[in-house]
């Protein structure tokens, strides 16, 4: 029997070099960023930030490989890999962390006790509850 509720992660979204996007991005597939994203990124797949890629905002994903720059919090539910030329300025929250020599990281790092398969909800701040002003 086939599974009908699986997410199709075969889709790869690309923000190419020279492209600038301002605003939040949400996806179920993988994303590669070689341009500039100013806003929050949320995906159930893998995020690859290439050598020319830069994210100014929060990143929530299942797996991530960073060769470029992230200026903001990054939350990865499985494996975060920081390549030699990567620059992270913000907090990291992940299950597993791999850092190559030469990678630069400024901020706090917290590693979770258990793996969470849903990167979109992993460590995501909860929406404040609305109360009536009666």
What whole-number distance in Å separates Cα of residue 32 and Cα of residue 14?
Answer: 5
Q: Where are the domains of the chain?
A: 14-108
What whole-number distance in Å separates Cα of residue 75 and Cα of residue 80?
Answer: 9
Span 37-56, pLDDT tens digits:
999 999 999 999 999 999 99
What whole-number distance in Å separates Cα of residue 85 and Cα of residue 70?
Answer: 12
What whole-number distance in Å separates Cα of residue 29 and Cα of residue 97?
Answer: 22
Span 5-43, pLDDT tens digits:
444 556 789 999 999 999 999 999 999 999 999 999 999
Residues forming beta bridges with residue 81, ordered by sequence position: 65, 98
The predicted model gives 115-133 an average pLDDT of: 51
What whole-number distance in Å separates Cα of residue 71 and Cα of residue 119?
Answer: 19
pLDDT: which is higher, 126 or 109: 109
pLDDT classification of 128: cutoffs 50, 70, 90:
very low
H or E element that contains 89: strand 87-89
């Amino acid at each position: 029997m086939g599974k009908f509720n699986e997410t199709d992660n075969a889709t790869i979204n690309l923000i190419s070099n020279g492209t600038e996007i301002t605003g939040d991005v949400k996806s179920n597939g993988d994303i590669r960023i070689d341009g500039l994203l100013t806003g929050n990124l949320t995906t159930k797949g893998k995020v690859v930030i290439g050598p020319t890629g830069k994210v100014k905002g929060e990143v929530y994903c299942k797996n991530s490989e960073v060769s470029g720059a992230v200026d903001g919090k990054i939350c990865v539910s499985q494996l975060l890999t920081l390549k030699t030329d990567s620059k992270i300025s913000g907090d990291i929250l992940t299950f597993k962390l791999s850092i190559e020599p030469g990678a630069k990281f400024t901020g706090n790092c917290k590693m979770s006790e258990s793996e969470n398969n849903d990167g979109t909800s992993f460590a995501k701040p909860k929406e404040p509850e609305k109360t009536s002003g009666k």
